Structure formats: C-alpha cells, structure tokens
Structure 1
Amino acid sequence: MSSSDDDTPLVRAKDGAKSNERISKDVDKAMDAQVPSNGHIEPGISIRMGPVDDMDVDAPATNGNANGKRKARNSITNGKSYKDASSSEDDDKPLSKRRRTSQQAKLAKDDSESELSDVPLKARALPKATAEQIGESSDSDTPLNTKLVKKKESIEKAAAKEAKAIRSKEKTVAKRKPKIESDSDDDVPLAKKKIPAKKANGVKKQESDSDAPLAKKPAAKKAKAKPAAATPAKKGKAKKEETEQDQEAEDEEDEYRWWENTAKGDGTKKWDTLEHSGVVFPPEYEPLPKNVKLIYDGVPVTLHKDAEEVATFYGSMLNSTHNVENPTFNKNFFEDFTALLDKTGHGKDKDGNTVKIKKFEKCDFKPIFEWFDSERAKKKALPAAEKKVLKAEKEAAEARYMFCMWDGRKQKVGNFRVEPPGLFRGRGEHPKTGRVKKRVLPEQITINIGEKAKVPEAPAGHRWKEIKHDHEGTWLAMWQENINGAYKYVMLAANSDIKGQSDFKKFEKARELKKHIDGIRQDYRRELKSEKMVDRQRATAIYLIDQFALRAGNEKGEDEADTVGCCSLKFQHVTLRPPETVIFDFLGKDSIRFYDEVKVDPQVFKNLKIFKKAPKTTGDDIFDRLTTSALNKHLTSYMPGLTAKVFRTYNASYTMARLLKEMKATGSIQEKVKAYNDANREVAILCNHKRTVAATHATSIEKMNERINGLRYQVWRTKMMMIDLDPKIKKKKGPEYFERPEDLDMDWMKQHQEAEVEEMRQKITKKFEKDNEKLKADGEKEMKPKELDERLEKADELAAKYKKENKTGKVEAEGKGPTVDKLEGNVDKINQRIENMKIQMEDKEGNKEVALGTSKINYIDPRLTVVFSKKFDVPIERFFSKTLREKFDWAIKSVDEKWDF
C-alpha cells in the first residue's frame, strides 16, 4: 500500500480490519488534535497503586469476569507442579513436540463501535498504597506517583550511564594486549569469566573450554587439623564429633560447584549418560461400597466402573464451592460424564432397569461425598505412629524413582508421579474447567534415557509408547494430557544442577542486557514516531513490555483459552482515557484477569489511538502487523538470546541492585528484614507485580493486633508485680507508668483471660494425646484420663488467679526469686517483642497488594538477596525457605557481599 492511501478508509480484511502499512503526517496531526494536552506528563507508572479517585465513566469489558479481581499467584510448590517442572524453554523439549500456533479466530464485530474516540469506562476505585508502604516518608507533599516516576527515571538514567561505561571498558580491554588474567572482571557475567585453576573445597578446579563433562577429580589430601586451644572434649564424644566433621569435609569435597566452571552446558547437548527408574502410576480405581450410590431423580443407581469413577471425581469435592458452584465447571463435567454414560449404558436401579441420566439438576452426589468425607476423617484420626509407618512404607516404595544418575552424578527428580485422573480445575476463568482428566496409560508415555542404560519396565501387560535418547532435552519422561493437548514432563528437581544452571543462565542473560538497554530504549523511543506501521507497532509493544512488564503473549489456536499478552491484545482489551491514561483489561497467563490503569508517554497514547482507528472494532488485533516471534527476532539483533521476557528479569534485578546500593539497613534483624521487604515492594510496584488482597488479610491483621494487645497486657501485669514487691516504686516512677492502657478495659481483659485459659487447656490436651500415642507406639501402657485431669489443673489455677486479680486489683509477683530489676528487664523484653510485631504487621499491611514472592523468586536475581544477607548480617533463612535455599544453593555459595548485578 502506498502512502497516498493513508487517508482513505481502512479496508476490512476477510479476518478483520487491518492497519495501513504507513502512517501519514496528516493522520499524526489529526490524532494530536484529538488528544488534549495537560502539560508535562509523567509516563511509565501504574496508577493503580497510587491515589485513585472515583471516576464517573463506563465499565470496561470484563471477559466474563464479574468480580474484577486478580488472583494471587502461588509461591513455589517444592517441585510438585508439572507446570513448574515443564517451565524450561522449548530447547529442552523434543523438536516434534514444540508448540504449534495458529492465528486465533476473530470475534464478531460491532460496527457501531467504529468511532475514533473510545467510549469512556466506569472503573471502580482501586486499592491505594501509602508512602510508607514503599519506604517513603508520609509527610512529604510530593504525590506518590511523582515519587515513583522520578525514581524510575533516575534508575533508567543510571542504567544508560552504566551501559556506556561497560561498553567503554570492554573496548579499552579489547585494545590492550591479551592478558592471562584481567585485573578486574566484576562487571563480566560469571558465565564468561575466565576461571583460574584453584582449590575449592579441596578440589582443584581446572580450566576447560570443552563441552565434555567434567571428570570427577581425585580429592586433595586433607591437611591435618591442628588441635584447638580450648578444653578437650569428653571421652567418647570426641571421636563421634570428629567423624561427623570428617564426613562433612568429604561431602564438601565431593560437591559439584558447577557455577565455578560453566563450560558444560554452553552447547545444546545436556547429558552424556542418563539412568532412571521411570515413573510412578496412581493406584487403580477401587469401586465404592455397594451401599454408596449416585442418586438420580430420587433413585439410587448402579453405574459401570468407569462411569462411577468419574462420578466420584465430582462427588468427592462437593465441599469445593468455588468449583461446584461455577456454571462452566458443572456444564463441562456433565457433558463429559453423560458422554461416558452413553458408552457404558447409563445406570441401573435395584431391579436392573436402565435409568437414563439426562439432567444434572436431578443428580444427587451427596452419598458419595459423605462416604469420601468419612474416609478422610478416618485417615486424619489415625494415630501419629500409624501415619508415620504408612509414610515410611510409601517412601520406601518410591525411593528408586526419587533420584536419577545424570552424567554419573546422583540428581533428585522433581516429580516422578503420573498425574491421577480427575476433574480439570484450571486457574482464573479457564473455559475448560470441569472437564474430565483421563487416566494416563503407559502406552502414552515416552521415556528419555541413555543408550546404554537399562530401560525401566512398564507395568505388567503394558508397554511404553516410545524410548528416546534425546541428549538435548532435560526431561526424563513425557506424555500428552487430554484437556489442552499439552505435553507434561518429568524433570529434575528445582535444587538439581540442571535446574540451577537454567536459573543461572536466565539471570546472566538479564545481566548481559545491561550493556544494551540504553540503545534499545533510544531506538524504540525513536521508532514510536516511525512512518512504517510495523515499526511503530513494534516500538509501542517494546515500550509497554519494558515499562509495564506486560508479557509478550503468544498466538492461540481456536480451541485454546482466550488468554492474551501484549502482541495479541484485542480492540476491547485496551481503553484510552485522554489525555494519557491507558486501561488494560484482559485474561492473562493462566486465565487470570489483568486489570491495570497506567500513564503512558503522549506518543504511545497517540499510537494506540491510531492502532484502534476505525473500522477496527471488537475482536480485531491492536498490533495487527506484529507477532511475538517477529518481536523476539528483532530483539536478538541487539543481543543473542534476547526475548521479551528478559526485560521483566532485568528490570526487577537492576532496580533491586540500585536500591541495595543506596540502602543503609540498621537496627534489629526484624528492622533489616523490613528494609529488604521495602526494597522488594518498591521493585514489585515499579515492575507491576500486583495481587488481589487476600480474603484472610483483615482477619490476619486482627489476630496480630490481638497478640500485640496480649503483650501490652503482660507489660501492665509485670509492672503491677513490681508494686507487689515494692509498693514505694509507684511514687518513685510516677502513677502514669503503672496505668493500664485505656483500650484494654475490663471487658477486653476478661475476654483475653478466658481465651488464654482455653488456649492452655487445648495445648495440655493435645500434649496428653500425643504422649499417649507415643506410649502406644512403643508398646507401653497408656496414661489414664485422671492424668489429663491433673494436668488441666494448671489451667484451672490460671483462671482462679485471674479471677482474684480482677477482684482485688493486685497482681502477685511470679517466677523464681522475682526482683524489681528482673521484672524491669522483663518489661523491656516484652516491649521489644511488641515493637518487632508492629514492624511485622506494618510489613504485612504493606504487602497486601504487592506480590513480593513473584519478584523475589522469579525476577530478582537471588544473588542480590544473598548480597543483602551477607552485607547486613541477616540469616538467609529470613528470606529463603528451605525449598528456596535448595533451589538457589548456587547463588548462596557463589557470591559475597561485594558482588554486583
């Protein structure tokens, strides 16, 4: 199309309206006239997290989501999710199984929506974040949005300056004569550093440019430890301690510190030898007792075994109201259920007559639910010793599946269990929720294993679909599930070398982007005004991805969920509110609603106006001349391997790195943790990692308040004990010191006392039951109920004490040898606990709308958290759970407090 066509109306393509190839100056000017200017605009920040007033505008399209809320994402699941297990890039999958895409079918058009300006939206008032929640002082007159924008602008300027400095340094180094070892390589990614031969944990590390696996080197001889100057340990204990220390030393020597030599894995070959035991299948279905039936129209019916199993899928989860009250869930389930009933002959009544099951409303699954509920209760009521035995038996049966041998090294497998059949639930508003997940058979499973390894045996009477020797894949087994046609993979655990290397490369790629970010930003800002439509659309998309952390989005097939990302945004997903506000409303990853209001650059606002120009309407693509693959191909011209998703990792990590450099965390451990969380929160807000306030948040805050009040009450009681020991101290310290807080009145005090007594009763009872279970397990005689009554006397004594205190107004001193000084020390300790709890509560309140976990686990380089931990002497356990410490073991052991992203 020539430029002369720019002013003619757009021709409606067969599959929807298409943008012109070029944008004329006249169209640009016309759009400028339609967008009133209010002076300086501060783009690049989501206003959802800032002050938002009620707006009298029309509501945006909600994609069928009535509540308008976005669900919080779960944190890491300890390797139990196949979604996590299969999250590696397509390179790890067999070529034949990589995702095929097709252009999504266009939705019905409404010609009445062809006007140039958008119909205004009526949006609800959205949650606000206070200045304190992001570590700013609350007494400033500067609006929150302005603070964040200025912060973001300063970070971008610093990034541009640093990028130029890195390139300048590299050019200088390149001009010099080659050296064996450079003086400093702090800014060089770890994967590209030249690693000198050195000893680490007793193993001599040798340089290697080979892709061949590193041979296990013989351990260096241990240096004989000099005896300590301290008092010798007791006899009999010394030998044991020495043995344990020797074992730890040997474990350290054997540890494979792959992050110190990353030559392995640079190519496409992932392994040379691979051995494993295959997968564990779920148990076969056990039919219900004969007295437990599905009731249809008041008649108990007997079903074929396969149909009964599907009925139990639904009947066992009647307590999951979120699902069984969802019309889509019920519709999909009943469609699949009746299709199976048609094949198996429906049901039979007690006389053997056929009962056709046609209407969902006539089905009563309650007898099935009650049976499953009673079975769950029986299992829960099992003695602890019996539960322990059952757990040990299960672990013993699955032990050989838990590990594999990968290039001669023992590695933990992430999830070796085949998913059991059931009902698909999905996340968000998934259109296939309620569909029946069929049982996976060995004939559907492909095994990936070494050529010389013994292939695991398939269950009796079955065979594997295929045996592969895919050295480029990191999967052990795979199959295709029937709901979405997706491939499920058995992968290594999150704490394995392979997964660790995958995370390492991801963050190193983000570090590499540091060198190029200024050029990329300059280019896309220049191309925002390009005459070529494809260039302008691409530049606008990169702007949105970089500034607002939008996912790129993939093309979808006609039968897939209508989830979108930046490149696949439709006309109805974007609403423009002059002069600079853009409202996004669409179903994002996992069918979770993405709703956000953002301020953008005036040119970006104008571009989106052009991209929505008539005759485009509902169902038409906004970025109709751009695809995700084309976008990523363009990005690789700046840096090999650069894709849209790298921006999310880079922006989060770089922002955190800048904040940590400026930080001066002081005070207690809790105060330092809060300082870290404040920085993490700021990253989450700047990178748009938001979540909906949890339904239990208010209750949780209320409980914390109660605990604080309980401690305040203990402070007052302790002060009253001081008067009991020394009545003159009241005059010495003044009556105000001993006054009970006004809000802790007599009614509150009695309720608190009753709750404390009841809590003590429950603890004593639980301890008694646990002790009895232990005695029974050891074959000893159980304690009689009389013993419990004697133990409960402590709670009765506490109740009597409180009753007396309330009557007399005096509190007798407690403890062994109480003194005024000791009691004063106790007051200080309790007050410190109160302060710590207040900090925790403020932290929790600040985090209610921000997904700190998303940022910390997936986007912030874990080495930055390690740097903070070491720099400010805070235990890493305060930031990473045991599972995350295993996952990020490489980060914890590879850097010190001087490391820089």
Structure 2
Amino acid sequence: MDSSDDDMPLSGSRKPGRTNGVTSLSSSKISSKVDATMDRQVPTNGETMPGISIANGDVKTQDTTMTDVNGSLTNGALVKRKARESNTRPSYAEAESSSDDDQPLSKKRRTTTTVESDSDDAPLLPRSKANGKSVQKPPRATAAQIGESSDSDVPLGKKLAKEKQQIEKAAEKEAKQIRNREQKKEASKPIKKDTPAKKVKKEDSSDDDKPLARKVSAATFKKVKAESSTPGKKPATKAKAVKKEETADPEDDEDENDEVKWWEDPTKGDGTNKWETLEHNGVVFPPPYEPLPGHVKLKYDGTPIHLHLEAEEVATFFGSMLNSTHNVENPTFQKNFFKDFTEVVKKTGGAKDKEGNKIAIKEFTKLDFRAIFEHYDAQREAKKALPTAEKKAIKAAKDAAEAPYMHCIWDGKKQKVGNFRVEPPGLFRGRGEHPKTGHVKTRVMPEQITINIGKEATVPPPPEGHKWKEVKHDKQGTWLAMWQENINGNYKYVMLAASSDVKGQSDFKKFEKARELKKHIDRIRKDYRKDLKSELMADRQKATAMYLIDQFALRAGNEKGDDEADTVGCCSLKYEHITLRAPSTVIFDFLGKDSIRFHEEFEVDPQVFKNLKIFKKPPKREGDDIFDRLTTTQLNNHLKNYMAGLTAKVFRTYNASFTMSKLLTEMKSEGTILEKLKDYNDANRKVAILCNHKRTVAASHAGQMEKLGDRLKAVKYQQWRIKQMMLEVEPKIKKKKGAEYFQLPDDIDEAWILEHQAYLVEELRTKITKKFEKENEKLKEQGQKPMKQSELNDRLEAVKDLEKKFKKENKTKKVEPEGKSPSVEKLEENVKKLDQRIANMEIQAEDRENNKEVALGTSKINYIDPRLTVVFSKKFNVPIEKFFSKTLREKFEWAIKSVDEHWTF
C-alpha cells in the first residue's frame, strides 16, 4: 500500500505513528478493486440496527484469542503515541472546564476493580412474601408509559436499537420542520435594499447562543435588551449598590427586584470583553508546614534519621497516607515518590543519624514511615474527638478568615468565587493508570501566581515578603488568578463558582448549542452516511469517525504526550484498540477519558465494518493509527461548515437531551413521589444505554446492596413482630386472616433473628450513651455540673430490659403487645404502613441495582439539558429538590426559573 507523503491531504499532516519503526499510512484513495474484494468478504446489504452496546458493560475476558476477520491478532498491548508539540504556554483566554469539573472528587468516576458475586444469577434482594402473599405494589407506570414496548419476547438490545432508529427518524423529521418554519418566516420579512449579504457569524456571536423558543415577556426582554445594548450605560443605582454589597453579609439574599435574568437575553455578555470592572481579594494559601515532634522520625533500615525540614515535609506526604493502600502500594507511585524524595534529600544536605553521620538512602523498601503515619493518624482521631462546640468554633474561625475571598465584585454585582484556595503541596495521584502518580506537587508560591483584576481596582497584597508574578487586566478572560503546576505543566485557574452568572451562561450556551444542532442533524447524518462509501480515504475515515461519535458517543480524542496517561478517543484509535468479528461486530478496548477502560462491543452498519477492515488492512499493524488521515481539528473544522461553533462533543449532549425529551413526551408518571423518581431514573438510565454512557460497577456496590437488604429484612422482621402481637391481643384472628399471614418471611431465619436482635441491643446502648455524652457537653458549655456515671447506668437499664424481652420471645415464641392500649385495629394499621415502606424500599433497591452500570448523576448534570428535569418536576409535581442538590439548584437556577412544564428541547 502506498505510504508516501504525496498522498496526504493538504489540510492535514501525518499523525505520529509507532515509536519502534516507520508508520504505515493508508493510501489516499480506495480503489474499486479493494472495495469489491471487501464487499465479497463483508456483505454491506445486510439488515442491522446499530447503536446499542451488546455487552452493556465490560466485555468478559474470553479464553479464546480474539482475532479479526483475516485471522490476525488485533488485541495487542496498548502502545503510546509520540508526543506532539507540548501545549504548555499559558492561555489568558477563558479556560474551558471538562464536563465533570463541577463534581467533587469523591463523586467522580471510580476505577476500582469490580468484585463479582459468586452467584451472579441470584438476586441480591430476593422478594419474600408478606402477609402470606406477594406484597401489593402501588400502581406503577407501564412499560409503554416510559417509552418501552410491551413485546417482552423481543431481546432488550434489539428493542432499544429499534427505538433508537425511531428516535433518529423523529430527529430528522423535526430538523426539516424547523428549517421549513424558519425559511417561511425569513421569506415573510420585507427585504431591505441596503442589507448586506448574510454571512456566517463568528462563534462568539452566533445564533446558536439564542434559544429556539424563548418564552419571556416582550416587556422584560426589551427592558434587559435596552440596558445591555447602550454602550457604557449602567443603572442609576449601580454605584450605590457596589458600595452596599462590599459590606454586605455574604449570605444575605439579593433583592429579587434587582435580579438580572440573563437567560432571557443570552446575547448579553457575548462580546469580546467578559467584564468591565472586576474586584477581588486574591487567593488563600495553605498553612506553612508544621515540623514533626522530635520523637517522630522516618527510619531507614531501622535507624531513625534526621532530615532538613523541606525533605521532612516530603516524607510526611507519603507517611501520612499509608492507609491509602491503592496509592502507596502502587509500584509506579512508589517509584516516582522515591525519585523525588531522594532528590530533595540530596539537595538539602542529605540524611543523618542522631550522631550526625550521613546515611545514603538507596532502597525504597528500607524506608519505614509508620511513626509518621501514627502521628498524623492520632491527630486525625483527636480532631474527630473534639467537642461539638470546639469543632464549630474552629470552623467559624476558618470561615471568617476566608470570607473576604469567597466573593468578588464583577461588573458591580457580587459573584461567588469557586476555587479560591491554592492547592496545598502533596503527592500527585492522578486518575486511572497515570504515569506521573506519586510525584511531589511542590508548594505554590506567590511569585508563581498571576492576578487578573480591573485597572481601577486595588490589587490584593501578596503575603509579606513576597510579590505576585504578574498583574493583568484581561477582560476577555473569566479567571481571577492563575499559576502553572509542576507535575504536568498545566495552568490552574481561579474561576467563579458554578452558581455564578458567568458559569451559568456557559452551561446555557452549551445546551442551546445542542438544541441548535436539531436543525442540522438530518443533513449531517445524510452526508456522513453517503461518505461512508467515498472513494477518498480521508473522506471515508471522516465519515466513519462521525458515525462512531454520533452512534456510540465516542469522544473525538486528542493527542497525548509520552508523560501523560495513554488515553485515546475516536480520532486517535490505534490498530490494537479495535477487534473485528464477522459479520458486523466491532470490539473496542482502550483507555478513555480519566484512564477509564472502554471495553465494549457494538453491532455496526456493515459498511462501517467494511471500512474499519480497510483501515486495518496490511501493512497496518500495532501502533498504527486507524484514522491516519484525520485529526480532531480537521473533524471539528468540517462540522463548523454545518453550524457555527459545532464540535464533536456537542453530539453527546444533543443525543442525550433529545432522547430524554422524546421519552418525557411519551411518559405518564403516576403514583408516589418515590415511584415518579424511579420513572425519571428509568428514563435517565435508558438515555445512558441508548447513548452508550456507561461506568464501571463500583467495588462497593455489592456491599451497599447487602446493607440495603439487611435494612429491608429489619422492616419485615418488625412487621412480623407486630403480627405476633395481634395474635396475643386476639388469638381468633389467626383463623380469620389465615396461618400464612402470620408466618415468618421466607428470607428470614432464626440465625438472622438472633444476629439482628444483638444488633438492636447494641444500637440502643450506643444511642443512650451518645445522648448522655451530648447532654453533658451542653451542661459544661452552660457552666453547670455534669451528670454522674450513675445516671448513665440507670438509663442503660433499658438495654438490659430489651435483652430480656428478646430472650423471652425466643423461648416462648410469643411477642407481647407494646404501646398504650394495643388493639388489633391499631396493630393492623401499623402493618399496612410497613407494607408501603417495604414496597418503597424494594423499589429503591431495584432502582439502585439497575443503575450500577449507569452514571445517572453524570448524565443528568452534564449531558441532559437541566430544563428537561425541571419540566418533569413541574409536569408530574415532584419537588425539584428531589433531583438537584442545593449546589446544583444554584448552578441551574437559570433552568429552574426559565421554563414551565410545556417547554420542549
């Protein structure tokens, strides 16, 4: 196959190939002979319904070796790409955050290995009989009500694939309707002679930032528009407002009459400058290092060693986290830490014993950090044990010290600042299998930090004895401060909080861009399907990549350097990342975003299967690019021909939001709040499956389900005890209700009862003790004499009484009635209440089990337009608090306040 540079398209350059030889490049054209040969091997006229992952999760490792249709091995080891020119220059433009930057680290996707149950086919929560028969569930939404077909004989994969095709057809039909409406509207406008020819606007001011169907009053819009369109004009009260807000309490609510609903005029703020005036107080630095006590030493080969404070601090980074075995037992983490640690030790004068003799640190395994860990672990435990009042006082002092940094004045309006704290020094962990994990993150000094602030504003003073690297007045950037970290050379930015206007506008534009794609999706899909058979290799690769991005939500992918995790996307797929299995199955296996393994198999269009086979045709081999005549930049430039600002990542947002919109249109959710929430989650999960948004099952999932199962059993046991009380009150009721009604539930045995009773006794003991201690703390705070131990002993008599009660029940097999004047009617009412509680818990368990492979939070926050969640909330009368936390309600305030139940995506 020809591999000369002459075959390369003028618009691109050759991608870096293998590091161990010359890369094999696809020829510029696909001859009719090759096409015909491949057609005989891979028929392209078969019927398939692509678009759904067959595996619905990680593909199970097979004993047999997977080969492609030519019989050659295609699942080789992952090979890193050569680094392109490093992009380490600072950017003063607005920093673009990743889709999950607003999530706390604890909520981000885990990469731990899934622990599988020994009995995969057994349900984690077997449904037992209550009242002697199956529990009567409240009315549930039918399959049809949540958009599912009732044809249960059809496999789920085919059913959803068929539904995905129907949704795509609906999208194409709607796109044509929107364009027709706009053309008629445009044709009805009077033509002005002096109007210049219409040109495509620049991305910053494109029409895709405007909603397709804004539902705001004309009066409000004109008022906001008038204020924003007059250069230099500001409200008459602006100056006073600034002065007032500077001294206002951060928690004070703003006057609702002064609220600016920017989402009603999205063109405001789209100019080159993001602000005109900006005031803030800079950043908060981490506290200085506190040296270890004299008796706490790092040991080397059993000998306590003395280190310079700088080296000692680095030692504490590792020593304080010995409980994080995932990191400290990682060979790469150990290697990188040891390299940096020994360099710091050498730089600061070396390590010495108590006599001052130098000790050469040569082996990591001889280092003993236990004394350091025990010191910090004791500090952590002591902090936990502090009285509540002292904890509150410490927190109040910290909040007071940070209060001046929490807000800035942005164009006269107080806005909350996001990450105003400079990251403390420590050890870099990274996500996934990052090659730099364990390296030392050095302390960031003021001399590394650039401040961005208004010219007229007072520059915040740096710490005493220091100075800022630079002070800028960049109105085009939305950052307040920036610095370069030492691990990857990336720039860190202090930005406004997610709930601020600027961040809100960014989210708003993102989802409006996805809505704008509705107008063009039919033409885009028609064109790339046509180009799947193009004679030009570059066009066929581009069309195939577009198919994979649109149908399977693959990320476009960017080139990585040798010092970065080997993560890839569609355009950077290598030969070994895909396996072809006739007649039309493609198996992907590569490290995706955040080093999460993407291991899925898909049924694809036969033409796509044939194209991938051509792209892997010899002399291609491991290390070579699949799409060697395509780059992410070329792909995105191509997409901008359809719509200003359109990039590959918009398809993920569009497909998720459009699919959710269609499901909500067909949904008729009924029942309790919990049932309606499950209906929403079912739809959300369906979106994730249809759009191939998956996650690795958390290692803690099985444990969580087991705990939920125990809680469910506890409620069933409580219900059974009440039924036994009914028998004591009125023995004849057994004949009336039937013996089965009073039987012990199937999933509860005597061994479990004994264990549960012991748990209840211990729980009561802990509850009484904690309450006693809390009351004593309050007495001390009030200057009163604390209660004596004898008072606690008296209270703990209730624990002994409970033990005796359970012992008697187990012996007599009878449960004495509890409460005042117990009657059959009262007890039966309690049984019914517990029936509802059991039903709700089983719904919750089923929901959680179904969601184990689907990141509903990520889907809801990043890909599904939040206005659709608001529509569901208002349409089915479910409090928005059930969907969005306080932080998310602030982040999506624009969505909550801008739409009603009739809004459509």
Query: TM-score, normalized by length of structure 2?
Result: 0.85
**What CA distance in whole angstroms lies between the structure 2 residues aligned with 1:296 and 1:781?**
51
Picking from 15, 19, 35, the partner of 2:26 is: 19
In the alignment, structure 1 residue 159 sits paired with structure 2 residue 171? yes
Which residue is 2:229 aligned to?
A: 210
Query: TM-score, normalized by length of structure 1?
Result: 0.85
Cα deviation per residue 1:624-650 (whole Å; 9 max; x = unaligned)? Answer: 111111110100000000000000000
In the alignment, structure 1 residue 633 sits paired with structure 2 residue 637? yes
Cα deviation per residue 1:27-61 (whole Å; 9 max; x = unaligned)? Answer: 11122233367942222221121898885532634
Letter in 1 for 2:157: N
Letter in 2 for 1:575: T
Aligned residue for 1:698, secondary structure, equals: helix
Picking from 744, 751, 761, the partner of 1:747 is: 751
Letter in 2 for 1:428: G
In the alignment, structure 1 residue 94 sits paired with structure 2 residue 92? yes
**What CA distance in whole angstroms lies between the structure 2 residues aligned with 1:878 and 1:213?**
43
**What CA distance in whole angstroms lies between the structure 2 residues aligned with 1:863 and 1:848?**
25
Picking from 20, 32, 35, the partner of 1:28 is: 35
**What CA distance in whole angstroms lies between the structure 2 residues aligned with 1:93 and 1:767?**
55
Letter in 1 for 2:429: R
Picking from 663, 667, 671, the partner of 1:663 is: 667
Q: State which drifts further: 304-313 or 722-731.
A: 722-731
**What CA distance in whole angstroms lies between the structure 2 residues aligned with 1:461 and 1:849?**
53
Give yes or no for contact 2:3–2:27 (8 Å, CA) kept in 1: no
Which residue is 1:547 aligned to?
A: 551
Letter in 1 for 2:282: G
Which residue is 1:244 aligned to?
A: none
Aligned residue for 1:415, secondary structure, equals: coil
Which residue is 1:459 aligned to?
A: 463
**What CA distance in whole angstroms lies between the structure 1 residues aligned with 2:352 and 2:59?**
61
Superposed, which structure 2 residues align to 1:71-150 within 5 Å? 93-94=91-92, 140-150=152-162
Which residue is 1:572 aligned to?
A: 576
Which residue is 2:310 aligned to?
A: 306
Give yes or no for contact 2:511–2:653 (8 Å, CA) kept in 1: yes
Letter in 1 for 2:559: E
Q: Specify whether residues 652 and 91 from structure 1 end up closer, same or farther in structure 2 by C-alpha distance, changes over 3 A only.
A: farther
Aligned residue for 1:597, secondary structure, equals: strand
Cα deviation per residue 1:120-151 (whole Å; 9 max; x = unaligned)? Answer: xxxxx999999999985898121111011101
**What CA distance in whole angstroms lies between the structure 2 residues aligned with 1:464 and 1:729?**
83
Give yes or no for contact 2:147–2:663 (8 Å, CA) kept in 1: no
In the alignment, structure 1 residue 198 sits paired with structure 2 residue 202? no
**What CA distance in whole angstroms lies between the structure 1 residues aligned with 2:96 and 2:756?**
61
Aligned residue for 1:812, secondary structure, equals: coil
Q: Specify whether residues 212 and 879 from structure 1 end up closer, same or farther in structure 2 by C-alpha distance, changes over 3 A only.
A: farther
Aligned residue for 1:682, secondary structure, equals: helix
Q: Specify whether residues 749 and 298 from structure 1 end up closer, same or farther in structure 2 by C-alpha distance, changes over 3 A only.
A: closer
Q: Specify whether residues 645 and 5 from structure 1 end up closer, same or farther in structure 2 by C-alpha distance, changes over 3 A only.
A: closer
**What CA distance in whole angstroms lies between the structure 2 residues aligned with 1:427 and 1:711?**
40
Give yes or no for contact 1:273–1:408 (8 Å, CA) kept in 2: yes
Give yes or no for contact 1:689–1:850 (8 Å, CA) kept in 2: yes
Superposed, which structure 2 residues align to 1:391-406 within 5 Å? 391-406=395-410
Q: CA deviation at 1:889?
A: 1.3
**What CA distance in whole angstroms lies between the structure 2 residues aligned with 1:190 and 1:790?**
68
RMSD: 3.4
**What CA distance in whole angstroms lies between the structure 2 residues aligned with 1:757 and 1:217?**
68
Q: State which drifts further: 25-34 or 317-326.
A: 25-34
Aligned residue for 1:198, secondary structure, equals: helix
Q: CA deviation at 1:785?
A: 1.7
**What CA distance in whole angstroms lies between the structure 1 residues aligned with 2:475 and 2:705?**
52
Q: CA deviation at 1:487?
A: 0.4
Cα deviation per residue 1:602-632 (whole Å; 9 max; x = unaligned)? Answer: 1111111111121121211111111111110
Q: Specify whether residues 325 and 35 from structure 1 end up closer, same or farther in structure 2 by C-alpha distance, changes over 3 A only.
A: same
Superposed, which structure 2 residues align to 1:239-254 within 5 Å? 251-254=255-258
Picking from 257, 260, 269, the partner of 1:256 is: 260
Which residue is 1:237 aligned to?
A: none
**What CA distance in whole angstroms lies between the structure 2 residues aligned with 1:126 and 1:628?**
44
Q: State which drifts further: 759-768 or 418-427.
A: 759-768
Letter in 2 for 1:174: E
Q: CA deviation at 1:93?
A: 4.5
Which residue is 2:353 aligned to?
A: 349
Superposed, which structure 2 residues align to 1:131-530 within 5 Å? 140-177=152-189, 189-190=210-211, 193=214, 196-198=217-219, 205=224, 207=226, 210=229, 215-216=234-235, 251-530=255-534
**What CA distance in whole angstroms lies between the structure 1 residues aligned with 2:122 and 2:892?**
31
**What CA distance in whole angstroms lies between the structure 2 residues aligned with 1:495 and 1:805?**
56
Aligned residue for 1:567, secondary structure, equals: helix
Give yes or no for contact 2:663–2:683 (8 Å, CA) kept in 1: yes
Aligned residue for 2:170, secondary structure, equals: helix
Q: Specify whether residues 521 and 722 from structure 1 end up closer, same or farther in structure 2 by C-alpha distance, changes over 3 A only.
A: same
**What CA distance in whole angstroms lies between the structure 2 residues aligned with 1:313 and 1:583?**
41
Give yes or no for contact 1:680–1:855 (8 Å, CA) kept in 2: yes
Q: Specify whether residues 52 and 343 from structure 1 end up closer, same or farther in structure 2 by C-alpha distance, changes over 3 A only.
A: closer
Q: Specify whether residues 690 and 876 from structure 1 end up closer, same or farther in structure 2 by C-alpha distance, changes over 3 A only.
A: same
Q: CA deviation at 1:340?
A: 1.6
Picking from 718, 737, 742, the partner of 1:733 is: 737
Letter in 2 for 1:146: K
Cα deviation per residue 1:174-214 (whole Å; 9 max; x = unaligned)? Answer: 122479xxxxxxx99537749544369xx965555628588
Give yes or no for contact 2:147–2:667 (8 Å, CA) kept in 1: no
Letter in 1 for 2:617: K
Give yes or no for contact 1:92–1:472 (8 Å, CA) kept in 2: no
Cα deviation per residue 1:491-522 (whole Å; 9 max; x = unaligned)? Answer: 01111111111100000000000000010000
Give yes or no for contact 1:585–1:595 (8 Å, CA) kept in 2: yes
Q: CA deviation at 1:392?
A: 0.6
Cα deviation per residue 1:516-556 (whole Å; 9 max; x = unaligned)? Answer: 00100000000011011111111111111111111111122
Cα deviation per residue 1:364-396 (whole Å; 9 max; x = unaligned)? Answer: 111111111111111111111111111111111
Q: CA deviation at 1:756?
A: 1.3
Instruction: Indicate the structure whose relative CO is greater, using CA pairs within 8 Å and at least 6 residues apart.
Output: 2
Aligned residue for 1:586, secondary structure, equals: strand
Q: State which drifts further: 791-800 or 522-531.
A: 791-800
Give yes or no for contact 1:6–1:23 (8 Å, CA) kept in 2: no
Superposed, which structure 2 residues align to 1:636-785 within 5 Å? 636-785=640-789
Q: CA deviation at 1:452?
A: 0.4
Which residue is 2:819 aligned to?
A: 815
Q: CA deviation at 1:796?
A: 2.1
Aligned residue for 2:540, secondary structure, equals: helix
Letter in 2 for 1:40: E
Aligned residue for 1:30, secondary structure, equals: helix
Give yes or no for contact 2:59–2:601 (8 Å, CA) kept in 1: no
Letter in 2 for 1:692: T
Give yes or no for contact 2:90–2:491 (8 Å, CA) kept in 1: no
Q: Specify whether residues 36 and 515 from structure 1 end up closer, same or farther in structure 2 by C-alpha distance, changes over 3 A only.
A: closer
Aligned residue for 1:575, secondary structure, equals: strand
Q: CA deviation at 1:412?
A: 0.7
Q: State which drifts further: 617-626 or 26-35.
A: 26-35
Picking from 554, 560, 568, the partner of 1:556 is: 560
Give yes or no for contact 2:227–2:234 (8 Å, CA) kept in 1: no
Q: State which drifts further: 428-437 or 292-301.
A: 292-301
Q: Specify whether residues 192 and 662 from structure 1 end up closer, same or farther in structure 2 by C-alpha distance, changes over 3 A only.
A: closer
Q: Specify whether residues 386 and 98 from structure 1 end up closer, same or farther in structure 2 by C-alpha distance, changes over 3 A only.
A: closer
In the alignment, structure 1 residue 836 sits paired with structure 2 residue 840? yes
Q: Specify whether residues 819 and 2 from structure 1 end up closer, same or farther in structure 2 by C-alpha distance, changes over 3 A only.
A: closer
Q: State which drifts further: 147-156 or 733-742.
A: 733-742
Letter in 2 for 1:777: E
Cα deviation per residue 1:693-735 (whole Å; 9 max; x = unaligned)? Answer: 1111112111111111111122222222223222332233233
